[in-house]
Amino acid sequence: MGAAAVEVRFTVAPAAKRVPAAERERILANPGFGKVFSEHMAIARWERTRGWHDAEVRPYGPIAMDPGTSVLHYAQAVFEGLKAYRLQNGRVAVFRPEANAARFKRSARRLALPELPEGAFVDAIDLLVGLDADWVPSAPEHSLYLRPFMYASEVNLSVHPSDEVTFVLIASPSGSYFPSGVKPVTVWLSEDFSRAAPGGTGDAKTGGNYAGSLLAQAQAAEQGCDQVVWLDAVEHRWVEEMGGMNLFFVFGSGPKAKLMTPALTGTLLPGITRDALLTLGKDLGYEVEEGRISVEQWRSGCADNTLTEVFACGTAAVITPVGAVKSARGSWPVGDGKPGVISMRLRQALVDVQRGAARDVHGWMHAVATSG
């Protein structure tokens, strides 16, 4: 935003009537994912001539929209996903919000949206989570999922970068991704569809990438698979991502094992969980590498047992082991089909930081001041 980068200040207008504690506890006992929301939201408006304005935290509720609103037609929008956790000591902290703020800016740039200053992104989180701290669950692996997003709110059907934009932050209590224990998934290698191509929007967190992935995900489900694995769009050979998660490959076993994750070529989404696991892997003494792996190498590595574990990672599920692979040209198991030892060790290491059970040596946990 250059010289126009002014401070964005959120005013706070709390709800007059709060949800009774008993009702809230009933909801928090079984929140599921993305279906219930906390009591407030943050919202800010941007206009090309005025910059950011009307920033406020207010009661959660619908946003009225003119049918001619640009985003409904041309999908100029970006989003983020991160979590606030209840630490063992009862305090509340958010995992690496500055990293999400930086990625939000990069995504916005790619979608020709204005860049929300990182400070405003983190302020919105601090204010909303502070106000709705009672909505941060304390059960293990439960959290308050935070969803910041920004969209073209100008009412205009001509195709152009919107002159009016809206930023919103909402929060949704979420349960454990694996309520009955971590369970490996079976993946379908998508050879008909591509998620992202060179020069496209694959490295931006934008809803259009997800819209384009749904048919492939449905195809995976038809094949009896849980998730789709994306290959590069040019050769249909190099493994990129699994659904909305990054992938890791474990070669060998024991302290000499090597972790490899596909390099960020521009068609992969740079996951913050991926980044954290590269660091934690090193901390645990493993060799870590950003590289590449082809479908043939994945298959032959599993056949000769040099490739011992495969897992996907992301904010929602932390680590999801991959137990088997299916494709039009054949199927094969990964390891013994059970969650791998190293996958689970990494998972525990990250979950321990997120719930305040392990020392936060990298300064990843951003404490939130809560009132009352």
Contact footprint for ligand PLP (CB under 6 A): 81, 205, 241, 244-246, 269, 271-274, 314-315
Nearer to ligand PLP, 55 or 220 (CB): 220
Task: Look up residue 197 and give its DSSP letter.
Answer: -
**CB 100 to ligand PLP: min, Å:** 7
The least distance separating ligand PLP from the CB of residue 318, rounded to whole angstroms, comes to 9
| Closest CB 98 distance from ligand PLP, rounded Å | 13
Nearer to ligand PLP (CB atom), residue 10 or residue 85:
85
**Cα gap 80→147, rounded to integer Å:** 6
Distance CA 56, CA 13 (A): 7
Distances (CA, A) of 118 to 6, 29, 42, 83, 368: 12, 33, 15, 17, 16
What is the nearest approach in angstroms of ligand PLP to the Cβ of residue 271?
A: 3
Q: Please report the sign of the dihedral spanned by the C-alpha atoms of residue 38, residue 39, residue 42, residue 43.
A: positive
**Degrees, nearest 5: CA angle 160-151-100:** 120
Which CB, 274 or 366, lies closer to ligand PLP? Answer: 274
Beta carbon nearer to ligand PLP, 272 or 368: 272
Angle at which helices 272-283 and 97-110 pack, to 10 degrees? 140
Residue 238 CB, shortest distance to ligand PLP, in Å, is 16
Q: Long-range contacts: 276-279, Cβ < 8 Å, 24+?
A: 276/96, 276/350, 276/362, 276/364, 277/248, 277/313, 277/319, 277/346, 277/350, 279/362
Q: In whole angstroms, how close is the CB of 145 to ligand PLP at the nearest point?
A: 11
Q: Identify which of residues 227 and 308 has a Cβ nearer to ligand PLP in the complex.
A: 227
Q: Which is nearer to ligand PLP, 216 or 269 (CB)?
A: 269
